[in-house]
Amino acid sequence: MDTELNPLQKAVIEALGVPADWEPLPEDIVHSIESQLENELAPLKGLFTAEEPLRINKHHIATVHGCEKYHVLNRQSQFAWNINTVRGTIAHKGIELLLNWRGPIIPSEIVDAAITSVAENPRESASDFIISLPAHELAELRGAVVGAVSNFLECFPPVKPQWRPMVEYSASYSLFDKSVLFTSRMDLVLGGPGRKVIIDLKTGRLTPTHRDDLRFYALIETLRSRQAPRSLGSYSLDSARLDSEDVTEGLLQSAVRRTAQGTLLIADLALKTREPEVRPGFQCRWCPANDTCAQGIQYLRQLSGDDEDAD
Ligand code: SF4
């Protein structure tokens, strides 16, 4: 029997529910966006191979449209875990367990199980980082994730099995004999083929790039499954806020343009046909070159107001 939903849960249902007049996008849209992507990326034919493909994910596209040098540095460096990034991983694992949990729902128990599951899985790259955490940092991590999982329980409607929830859903698509490979991993997907709702669960603030990330997912899912998803949503676990939009032909076309432009830029940088452009922005705050890059140093000074303070 359905339990009474609170106002926040009702708001999510209203935003993501199927409108009475909803119609799936026509099938020929799949062919038209596929041709558009192929045409725009035609200059890459023969430049990469299936053995060493040009790999593209949402993060690559987002960073190359920001500072190209930052993009190159990021691709060269080994990913290093920190408390913030591992918080998102454990929160996602907690929600995955929550959706399949049998027995009483106690957030702290689910989070403990999530931490254990990630820490004890040798295939999880975060496992060594978690094991190395001192007790006080582990307690901080646990507390933060318990907060996120509790928020999800309180503010997101209970996910019904008939919504066919899939957590950490991977989709990929390739072009030109698998030499250009697009990959995606979606946090939560609800609904059956042709009417999927793709949800990104965020542990931090929602930013404009979240919409671009989801549009990239919508594009890859459309090309892979040959059916467009119905709707997209970024859900902030901290603020219990949902930002959603319907998938339209215009949305998919804009995702193709942004993905194609980004992929061409990434190919240039991978092939070293030119020097990366330097474009200061918010990413300077966590860029590994922010103590040597003159533009980044100046930008960060301006951001913190140092320039105004100087005599
Ligand atoms: S510090 Fe900023 S401008 Fe400089 S390379 Fe890094 S992201 Fe780009």
Mean per-residue pLDDT over the chain, rounded: 90
Shortest-distance atom of ligand 1 to CA 69: 5
DSSP for 214-248? Answer: HHHHHHHHHHHHSS--SEEEEEETTTTEEEEEE--
Q: Is 283 in the pocket of ligand 1 (CB under 6 A)?
A: yes
- Per residue in 233-278, pLDDT (tens digit) is 999 887 878 899 999 999 999 999 999 999 999 999 999 999 999 9
CB of 88 shorter than 6 A to ligand 1: no
How far apart CA 119 and CA 232 sit, in angstroms, is: 31
pLDDT digits (tens, 9 = 90+) for 198-235: 999 887 777 778 899 999 999 999 999 999 999 999 99
Residue 310: predicted pLDDT: 47
Residue 31: CB atoms within 10 A of its CB come to 11
Instruction: Check residue 311 and give its pLDDT.
Output: 45
> Is a pLDDT exceeding 90 seen at residue 100?
no
Task: Answer with the residue of higher pLDDT: 83 or 272.
Answer: 272
Share of the chain above pLDDT 70, in %: 97
**pLDDT higher than threshold 70 for residue 180:** yes
Residue 1: pLDDT band with limits 50, 70, 90: very low
- Ligand 1 centre distance from Cα of residue 78 (Å): 18
Model confidence, pTM: 0.89
Q: What does the DSSP 8-state code read for residue 204?
A: S
In the chain, list all ranges with CATH 3.90.320.
7-12+21-77+162-271
Between the CA of 242 and the centroid of ligand 1 the distance, in Å, is 31
Is residue 13 classed exposed, middle or buried when 0-12, 13-18 and 19+ CB atoms within 10 A define those classes? exposed
- Residue 309's pLDDT band (cuts 50, 70, 90): low
For residues 21 and 23, give the distance between their C-alpha atoms in angstroms, rounded to a whole number. 7
Task: Check if 114 has its Cβ closer than 6 Å to any atom of ligand 1.
Answer: no
pLDDT of 193 reads 87
Q: Which atom of ligand 1 is nearest to the CA of 297?
A: 1
Give the CATH number of domain 7-12+21-77+162-271.
3.90.320
Q: Is any ligand 1 atom within 6 A of the Cβ of residue 280?
A: yes
